[in-house]
Every structure is written in C-alpha cells, then in structure tokens.
Chains A and B, each alone.
Chain A
C-alpha cells in the first residue's frame, strides 16, 4: 500500500464516519408508527452504526499499516502529469456537459438539447484533431433518429420543448 493510498483511505474513513453520523441524526425524524419492537428507523440506524464501525476500522488500518514501497512508485515524469491533467479535464467537462444536458432537456426539448450535447461531447472526447462538420452531422441525425424511434416506434414520451 502506498503512502498516498493510505492517506486517501484515512480521509475516506473520516468522510464515511461523518456520513454515517449524518444518517443517524437524520433518522431521528422517522416516527415509530407501529406497535412493534422495531420501527422504520431501525434498519437505517443499524446500517449507519455498522458503517461507522467499518469507517473506524478503515481509519485505524490506514494509520497502523506500516508504510512500504512508496518512494519508488511515486516518481512521475512531466509528460505523465500533463496527460493526467488532460484526462481530468476531459472527465470534468463531460460531467458539466451532462449536467447542462439534463438542466435544459425539459425547457428546450429533446431534439435541440441532444444535438447540442452530442456535438460538444464528441469534441471534448476527441483524441485527435476534431472533425467539427462531421460531428455536427452525426449529432443532428442521431438526435432526430432517436427521437422518432422512441416517440413513434416505442411510444415513449420525450420532452418536445421548442421544436415540438
């Protein structure tokens, strides 16, 4: 186990411990409605308790474990860090795009939002030089095909929005 992953586990343990305390507190608002020894709060509280115990074990494990084999593995070249930051940027942009997609899906409608989302997402994920006209064509045609396929063939509702 490297020093880095031990540190990560320590933070994770603390995070999950806080989370389980939060669940425990939130469970106080669950009322006991039935004449039985355990009510609806029992299982969430039991789960929160177990999670807290396991978090403490994880914290102890990360503190007590002897550090080993960490020094040589952590050297990274500049090229690698650059590639890593590019990767992170791709994931972050993908998150944002999906977020915008969901926000605008209902007000603007499926056809337009999907076409726009696809176009930018193709661009974000492209590894080589992006071919924007091609992306545009694929984005619009995919959006139209999926819309008609689902609305006409499978009879599912999709938000019509502006173009409906």
Chain B
C-alpha cells in the first residue's frame, strides 16, 4: 500500500469518538504536567502507561502521544509567566520569554510560543513521515552485528552527550546495563543475579524502572527544594491573534528553519530530546543573530528558537523508535514499553506487520498537535489557575498513582518495591552528579546489545572480526569510540581553562 492509503487507514482509526476523547484528555493533562514545575512529560506518560494496558493499541498510543505533545508544549506557560520552566524542554524559553512578559508582551510571547511549538512539531512530523519508512527498509537488512553496534553507539553517545562528566555518564550507562542483567539471561535462560528471589526471574520491569527513576526522583527532589511558586505578579497575558505580525513571521523564518533542524536532529539522536535541543537552538540563534546583544532582554527570536526546537524533537525522537526500536528520548522509551505490552516490538518489522498502528500513531501526532494549539490558546486561563494547586497536596497523590500503576502491572507489591528501589537509585545518582538518562538507555539497550552480540558470535563461530569489518556495524563502532574520545578531550580542555 502506498503512503497515502496508509495515512487514510491511520486517520480512519484516530478520527473516532474514543481515540479523539483520549487525545483531548492526553493533551490537556500533558499541558498541565508540562506547565507545573516539577512535573514533566516523562512523568505524565509514565503515570498513564498502565491505563493503556487494557486499551486497543491505537487508543493507548493516542492517549500517550497526546500526553507527549501536551507535556512538551505546556512548559512555555510557566516559563513565560513565572520564569520557572515547567519542564526541562522550556528552560531556554525563560531567557527571553519572561523579559518579554515584564515588558508587557506576555500575550505576544505566549502566542508566538504556541504557534512555533505547532510549526516545530509539524516540521519534525514531516521528517518522521518521510525518513522512518525508508530507514526501516534499510534496517530490515540489518543482522545481529549491526544491531549490536547501533546499541553500543547509542549508549556511548548518550553517555557522552548528557550533562556533566563523560566518565559519570558512561558509568550511569553501565549501571543501567547491569540492572538489565538481573533475571533470565538471553539465549540460554540462566537466571542471573536473582539471589534466590523468584520474583526477579523475569528481571526488573521497564515501567517500575522508569517511574522510579523519573517520577519518584523528581518528587523527592521537589520535597527537598524550598522554592514556592509566587503567583502574585503574573503579567497581563491576553493573546491577540498570535501576538506577532506577518512581517515578524518573515523575519523569523530563518531562525525557525534552523531551530526546527536542530530540534529534529537532536531528537533523532538516541537518548536526548527537547531538554537539550531548546538550549542548543537558543545558543545557535544567538550566535547567528545580527544582534546577539539583544538576546535575554526579551526578543521574539529567543522564544521562537526554544519553542520550535523542543517540539521539533518529538518527531525526531520517534524516528529511531519506529524504524529500529531504539528510543530517541526518555518519553519514547516509555512509548516502547507501551507498544511492547501489546506484543508489538518496535523496529523495522513494525511497518510491515502492524502498519495500521504506525500510521495510527502518525495520525495521532497530527491531530494532537492541532488539539494542543486549541487548548493552549483558549484554555490558558484555566492552566494558569492550576499552577496554584499546592505542591504538598499534588505530589503525594502522584506517588499513589505511581504505586497503583506499578501494582497493576502484575498485581504484586514486588513491582511497587522496584519503583522505590529505582527511585532511591535515581535520587542518589542525581545527588552524586550522575545523569539518569544513560541509566534507562543502558537498561533498554543492554539486552539488545547482549542478545545480538551472542547471536552474532554464534553465526560467526565465535569470531568478533565480522562486527568490525561489516561496513554499517564497523562504522557505528568507530563513531561510538570517536564520540567518547572527543568528549573526553573536550572536557579536559574545559577543565584546563
């Protein structure tokens, strides 16, 4: 079937009452999670994941995609109005968004933020629609050596690109791999590191790991912080039109395209997403600008750069997930879990075996993007009011949801204990300056790398050389090594300065 027919199939599944309600619900809740500092898109998807287990896969994905888009987009509200980024994806939005609000241009900043979030999303979806299917075709020809090397490449890349020291990033990734080793080993099914606990035979589940690392850690961090949101002096935020003129749109065109490219590119790279791209794109916009000194004083360029890039990372992050089964950021790691629970394994075969679901996801992205604009534009007053819900009431309720979700997985308290276990690891790692994203990537990619290494070595009678001499596999291993060496050198230079 051609692409157009597949899109027809996708839309015919999404444009029904149930999936539409789920998208509206997802986007709405997502914006709330995005707008409230301390709650993130990752957390929203983690909490709602268990609810999708009983749904049809397309319905479940519609909900999760809604949460994803809403969660990334909602952060701009608090970034512009109270100078606290609602999610890491909107950090750079505060740089110029809040000064704009101080100048009395809150409406313009919000309008532009919403509009460029929408455009950035669209740009990345087009990239996704046109890149993922052919990439999946190429990936179909990959064997165990290629998959092993791509997994290693993804792991080293995320470890060296994540914030903080490269050494600690790599260590985080290895700890993730070791955590994934717990339970039945691939190939020969020997139970490893279970220490006599039969509950560990299946290993740790992905969901408790994600909820623990991202939700519990975030809650403990917030319990620790003293920051209270003051809402006394919110600027007048009436939006007229989208707040900016046609002339300004033309002026921002170059900025938009650059930011969208950065956002999509960062999204495609495994393990990093909107949290990184918004800052990189802001820095790029400032460097390329004719008036860099104006950045930070409240100009449109800053908001456009940040808000375009973070939404553009969404489509990018879905490219490796759908084409190769490798998550592009922490939210897509959870979408991976959401697909696997329905017995669907993301990867090149998904396009042939479950094309209807892939195109259902594509259609959900487009619809959710429109819903996001409508809701943020017309519901802004409602979302601002929600910022006033006290943290000490909200966070405990979220912990209860975490426990319920984990318990519901297998109806055993053991999984709730795993949530706590991963929460403690996450909190400790954050305190010690170890990044968390590599842990989860190691946890997901560890088994992928191990299975393909062992399978590959069986095919080659124990000879590792083909892993290096096969062009695709060898290239990824070389880039992996280069990325580590490069970031170590860069770090040493910075330390010397």
Contacts and interface: CB of A to CB of B under 8 A. Distances in A.
Interface of A: 5, 8-9, 12, 16, 23, 26-27, 30-31, 33-34, 36-44, 47-48, 50-51, 54-55, 57-58, 61, 65, 83, 87-88, 90-91, 94-95, 98-99, 101-102, 105-106, 110, 114, 117-118, 121-122, 124-127, 138, 142-143, 146, 150, 154-159
Contact of B457 (A38, A48, A143): A38
Provide the main secondary structure of the chain A interface: helix
Interface in B156-173: 167-168, 170-171
B178 A40 contact: no
Contact of A43 (B188, B223, B416, B446): B446
A54 B396 contact: no
Contacts of A117: 396, 400
Contacts of A98: 216, 399, 420, 423
A40 B184 CA distance: 9
Contact of B190 (A33, A36, A83, A143): A33
A46 to B, nearest CB: 9
A105 B416 CA distance: 10
8 tightest CB-CB pairs across the interface, nearest first? A125-B392, A37-B462, A40-B185, A121-B396, A156-B408, A33-B188, A40-B190, A43-B450
Given A122-B392, A125-B395, A155-B54, A90 B193 contact: no
A34 B449 CA distance: 18
B177 to A, nearest CB: 5
Contact of A142 (B167, B400, B433): B400
22 contacts: A36-B457, A36-B462, A38-B462, A40-B185, A40-B187, A40-B188, A44-B193, A47-B174, A55-B171, A90-B224, A98-B216, A98-B420, A98-B423, A102-B416, A105-B403, A121-B399, A122-B392, A122-B396, A138-B393, A150-B404, A150-B408, A154-B51
Given A43-B446, A117-B400, A127 B228 contact: yes
B400 A146 contact: yes
Nearest to B192: A30
Contacts of A90: 223-224
Contact of A54 (B170, B178, B188): B170
Chain B interface, >50% SS class: helix
B190 A30 contact: yes
Interface in B462-492: 462
A105 B411 contact: no
Nearest to A134: B393
A127 B453 CA distance: 52
Given A121-B399, A125-B396, A102 B193 contact: no
A16 B168 CA distance: 11
Nearest to A33: B188
B365 to A, nearest CB: 25
A125 B391 contact: yes
Contact of A122 (B185, B393, B458): B393
A59 to B, nearest CB: 10
Contact of A51 (B174, B404, B458): B174
Contacts of A27: 192-193
B244 interface: no
A51 B171 contact: yes
B264 to A, nearest CB: 32
Contacts, number: 152
Contacts of A40: 185-188, 190, 192
Contact of A36 (B413, B427, B449, B454): B454
Contacts of B226: 83, 87, 127
A155 B408 CA distance: 9
B397 interface: yes
A15 to B, nearest CB: 9
Contacts of A126: 392
A47 B171 contact: no
Contacts of B457: 36-38
A5 B164 CA distance: 13
Contacts of B396: 117-118, 121-122, 125
Nearest to A37: B462
A43 B403 contact: no
Contact of B407 (A61, A127, A155, A158): A158
Contacts of A41: 192
B47 to A, nearest CB: 12
A122 B187 CA distance: 48
B416 A61 contact: no
B478 to A, nearest CB: 18
Contacts of B427: 91
Nearest to A52: B174
A16 to B, nearest CB: 6
A47 B177 contact: yes
B207 to A, nearest CB: 13
Given A38-B457, A156-B408, A58 B167 contact: yes
Nearest to B391: A125
B224 A91 contact: yes
B322 interface: no
B196 to A, nearest CB: 11
A106 B170 CA distance: 39
B179 to A, nearest CB: 10
Nearest to A99: B420
A12 B225 CA distance: 24
Interface string B375-398: 000000000000000011101110
A127 B422 CA distance: 27
